[in-house]
Structure 1
Amino acid sequence: MLIENMSMAFQAIKANKMRSFLTMLGIIIGIGAVIAIAAVGDSMRNLFADAYKDIGFNRGIIMVYWGVDDFRLSDNFTRDEMERVKEIYKDRIEYIDSSSGEQTEAVNGRRKVKYQFQGVDYNYGDVQPVNIIYGRFFNESDVKGALNHVVLEDKGAIQLFGTADCVGRTFRMTVKKVTQEYKVVGVYHKDLSPMVAMMLGTGQTQSGFIPDTVLVKPNDTFQNLNFYARDGVNMKQLMADMTQYVAKLKNRPESEIRAESVVEEMGSADAQLSAMSAAVGGIAAISLLVGGIGIMNIMMVSVTERTREIGIRKALGARTRDIMIQFLTESAFLSASGGIIGIILGISLVKIGGVLLKMTVVVNPAVVVLAVGFSALVGIFFGLYPASRAAKADPIEALRYE
């Protein structure tokens, strides 16, 4: 019976191709928009997850919040305090530094390149792998000796020296208001998708690493403790314990200690992206309502056009239920067909966009299944009244209809 009803529905749609297509258009646009928006949202969330992965999921930063009214110099950390934290939490922290950095200009002859250097310890590569293509990363002697050594990204090295293979070469730059010679001990390469590169900006400032001890001298103070937890450590508990310790260390209430983890930041960004996708998807879904109304309208026209057919079927013994199921099947078939076309259209658009932007596109199968099911339900819901009207038609009056 179902196959027969579907066959009849197909024949009815086929008999009015243009009208059927225009009726499906609202469903096609609505489902296509919902699929595309959901895919873009999931792809952006995946992109952000990859970006946070580069930062490190187990990374945390803790400080005395600088926005307090009575912030004082002693609220900053010293190297001795950082070493104490490192010792106390050595079972849970794999790496720690002062989160120091320096923006300066590197000069090699007539070449001048703006750089943003990140101060790191010698074991930074244990928590954030650095793809060294020439030379090496810092060793313990580089850091403990506060040597003027740097590791440059290949793009910046090419701008400064004309080649990425520049290990052993020197240049001048000013760090902490002191101009000195610096030696390149390594060059690294970092792959970024065009989308991530666009998010990070296309500025002329290049990246590099420098020993943390070059930027923070023994008597210097700094605001942040930047650390990476060991694998398997409960990050939330670690942040709570360190907040308590720092509050006692600095004689501050815990409410004035600012502790942030990448996991929390990522969760917040993910929630915002999800909410944005849901809101925009909801707006796009309104077109499904419009499409449903279009289906109801065309089914009403179909009932009127086929009044005599309904009368003949009833006269030949068709039950009220049979007539209703026939028209409901036709309505659902029309809507589901539009839904399938919309899915193909939506996925095609995001796939093409992904190829052009050279980014991985994420299409959630659950969203696709939900979209097909929802489009069929729209057809059934908006087809109920026309089907009911057809089923209740008086066969005598229907046979008299011209």
Structure 2
Amino acid sequence: MIFENIKLAMFSIRANKMRSFLTMLGMIIGISSVIAIVSLGDTMRSVVAGEYENFGSGLVVAYIDSPDGYYSMEQMFTKDDADQLMDAMDGKVTCVGFRSSTRADVKAGRKKEMVTLNGLAENPTVIKNPKIVYGRMLNNKDIIGKKKFVVLDKTTAANLFGQENVVGKSLKTTINNQAEELLIIGVFENTDSALMKLMQGGSFANAYIPESILVSPDEGQWGLSFWMSQDYDMTQLQNEIRAYIARMKNQPIENVTCYSAKEEMKSVDGVLSSLSAVVGAIAAISLVVGGIGIMNIMLVSVTERTREIGIRKALGARTKDIMIQFLIEAAAISAAGGIIGTILGISIVAIGGMIVGVGVVVKPTVVLIAVVFSAVVGLGFGLYPANKAAKKDPVEALRYE
């Protein structure tokens, strides 16, 4: 009997193709919206997590709080402070620097480009390890010796010189109000994601120079960046750094703030997760609207097929059979909308990921929950019309014109 009801339901849907499709449309939009929005949120969380890994999972930033926003020299850090802290940590820290950078025009002949010059401290590849395609990366000797070297990205190299391999050529720029000539010792390929490029200035190109030529030894900086060894407990090291800075700078320990990239990542991840859940829940409201559309069309269908219901009952169909028939029809419309919506939602996310060059994250659990929820909504809103059809009096139904 169940197969007969399925055949009747499919026949009714095929007989009213346009009406059935328009009824499914609410479910299609609802399912695709939920899957696309939640997957977009998961993708953003994955991208952000990846970018924090690029910064270095062992990155810690320390600074001294200034309630009035004014930093005295005693509250700022110099190169000597960085060296002292590096020695004091006794191998627990692999790199200490200021993560300083500046935007400047670089010139090659008559051509000019705006470039972000990023300063790298000792052990530079701990901070940034780009894909070198020509020449080499900066090393400790370059930084300690304050060499006026630069590692340039290949796109900027091509724009300035008309070719990518420009190792040995020079650039002119201004650093700290001083005219400088930098020797190109390496060319790298920028493999950062679209999000990372946006965080680094969008359309601005990037280059790497020794931090020692970007920051003068006596110049104070508001904070220090540490790259921790993975062999040590992060929380314990942060407490050691806070205590040492408090003693070194003669500050109360509660004035010293120390936070890690992992802590910041968890905070950002929590915000993105909550935002994704809220927006996904709002999008799920459209599923309810789609369910109302199913109930509406099923009520119309019951009215149109009153005589058919009467004939079936007169031929021996039970109340349960009539109810199952209309429930199957509602479920079929809902399921078809769910399948189409799932395909559409995944396609939207995949196409968006391809456009921006980001690997998308579509969790099977999200798809499963969305489809199951749509089926429940379809059955729930199909229950009342099905019950109404099942309770029709066969004599009155046969009289219906």
**TM-score of the aligned structures, taking structure 1 as reference length:** 0.88
- 1:177 and 2:182 equivalent? no
**Equivalent AA in structure 2 for residue 347 of structure 1:** I
1:57 partner SS: coil
Deviations 1:110-142 (A, max 9, x none): 333333222213422145322222222223322
How far residue 363 of structure 1 moved from its aligned partner, in angstroms, is 2.1
How far residue 241 of structure 1 moved from its aligned partner, in angstroms, is 3.8
Return 316-325 or 384-393, whichever deviates more.
316-325
Return 190-199 or 332-341, whichever deviates more.
190-199
2:44 partner SS: helix
1:363 partner SS: coil
The alignment's C-alpha RMSD in Å is 2.7
Change (3 A) 1:13 1:69: closer
**Equivalent AA in structure 2 for residue 392 of structure 1:** K
**Counterpart for residue 375 of structure 1:** 374
Query: Pairwise mapping of residues 124-143 of structure 1 onto structure 2 (< 5 A)?
Result: 124-143=124-143
Change (3 A) 1:90 1:384: farther
**Counterpart for residue 326 of structure 1:** 325
Query: Pairwise mapping of residues 195-214 of structure 1 onto structure 2 (< 5 A)?
Result: 197=197, 200-203=200-203, 205-214=204-213
In the alignment, the residues of structure 2 paired with residue 274 and residue 69 of structure 1 have an alpha-carbon distance, to the nearest angstrom, of 32
**Equivalent AA in structure 2 for residue 116 of structure 1:** T
In the alignment, the residues of structure 1 paired with residue 196 and residue 216 of structure 2 have an alpha-carbon distance, to the nearest angstrom, of 34
**Counterpart for residue 97 of structure 1:** 97
In the alignment, the residues of structure 2 paired with residue 264 and residue 368 of structure 1 have an alpha-carbon distance, to the nearest angstrom, of 30
Contact kept in structure 2, 1:34 and 1:284, CA below 8 Å: yes
Deviations 1:334-365 (A, max 9, x none): 11111111122222233333333343333222
How far residue 237 of structure 1 moved from its aligned partner, in angstroms, is 4.3
Deviations 1:233-274 (A, max 9, x none): 443443344234323433334443233322233333333333
**TM-score of the aligned structures, taking structure 2 as reference length:** 0.88
2:129 partner SS: coil
Return 296-305 or 84-93, whichever deviates more.
84-93
Contact kept in structure 1, 2:298 and 2:385, CA below 8 Å: yes
Return 138-147 or 26-35, whichever deviates more.
138-147
**Counterpart for residue 281 of structure 1:** 280
**Counterpart for residue 34 of structure 2:** 34
How far residue 380 of structure 1 moved from its aligned partner, in angstroms, is 1.0
**Counterpart for residue 293 of structure 1:** 292
Change (3 A) 1:273 1:93: same
Change (3 A) 1:313 1:337: same
**Counterpart for residue 235 of structure 1:** 234
Change (3 A) 1:61 1:198: closer
Deviations 1:347-396 (A, max 9, x none): 22333333333433332222211121111111111111112222222333
Contact kept in structure 1, 2:291 and 2:378, CA below 8 Å: yes
In the alignment, the residues of structure 2 paired with residue 373 and residue 242 of structure 1 have an alpha-carbon distance, to the nearest angstrom, of 51
1:51 partner SS: helix
Gaps of 5+ in 1: none
How far residue 109 of structure 1 moved from its aligned partner, in angstroms, is 3.5
In the alignment, the residues of structure 2 paired with residue 288 and residue 56 of structure 1 have an alpha-carbon distance, to the nearest angstrom, of 42
How far residue 11 of structure 1 moved from its aligned partner, in angstroms, is 1.9
Change (3 A) 1:146 1:296: same
How far residue 202 of structure 1 moved from its aligned partner, in angstroms, is 4.3
In the alignment, the residues of structure 2 paired with residue 2 and residue 95 of structure 1 have an alpha-carbon distance, to the nearest angstrom, of 71
Q: How many residues align?
A: 401
In the alignment, the residues of structure 2 paired with residue 392 and residue 255 of structure 1 have an alpha-carbon distance, to the nearest angstrom, of 74
How far residue 296 of structure 1 moved from its aligned partner, in angstroms, is 0.9
- 1:391 and 2:384 equivalent? no
- 1:8 and 2:8 equivalent? yes
- Percent identity among equivalent residues? 45
How far residue 329 of structure 1 moved from its aligned partner, in angstroms, is 1.9
**Equivalent AA in structure 2 for residue 289 of structure 1:** V
Contact kept in structure 1, 2:94 and 2:123, CA below 8 Å: no
Query: Pairwise mapping of residues 149-188 of structure 1 onto structure 2 (< 5 A)?
Result: 149-188=149-188
How far residue 152 of structure 1 moved from its aligned partner, in angstroms, is 2.0
Gaps of 5+ in 2: none
Contact kept in structure 2, 1:195 and 1:358, CA below 8 Å: no
